[in-house]
């Protein structure tokens, strides 16, 4: 069984498909039922439902630890 993956605002993820600008790296801007991600190549923002986002992510490139943030 695969463990639960937790995403945080500020994480950089690699998607399975590339964006039309040529980049496949996205920054997570909002986490919840819906995810808002921003393309690291052109800055385009996209809102995706959680199941579609989790299926489209290939790997996490950079993790922004929630414990180190002062909220």
pLDDT digits (tens, 9 = 90+) for 7-33: 999 999 999 999 999 999 999 999 999
Beta bridge partners of 51: none
pLDDT above 90 covers what percent of the chain? 77
Residue 5: the pLDDT is 77
Q: What is the pTM of this model?
A: 0.82
In this structure, are residues 14 and 58 in contact, taking their beta carbons and an 8 Å threshold?
Answer: yes
What is d(CA 69, CA 39) in angstroms, rounded to the nearest whole number?
23
What is d(CA 48, CA 30) in angstroms, rounded to the nearest whole number?
10
Cβ neighbours of residue 3 under 8 Å, at least 6 residues apart?
Answer: none
> In which domain, by residue range, is 39 found?
12-60
55 in any annotated domain: yes
What is the band of 71 on the pLDDT scale with cuts at 50, 70, 90? very low
What is the band of 66 on the pLDDT scale with cuts at 50, 70, 90? low
Domain count, the chain: 1
């Amino acid at each position: 069984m695969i463990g639960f993956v937790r995403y945080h605002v500020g994480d950089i993820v690699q998607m399975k498909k590339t964006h039309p600008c040529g980049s496949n790296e996205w920054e997570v801007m909002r986490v919840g039922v819906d995810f808002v991600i921003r393309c690291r190549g052109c800055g385009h923002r996209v809102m995706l439902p959680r199941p579609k986002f989790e299926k489209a992510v290939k790997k996490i490139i950079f993790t922004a630890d929630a414990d180190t943030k002062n909220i």
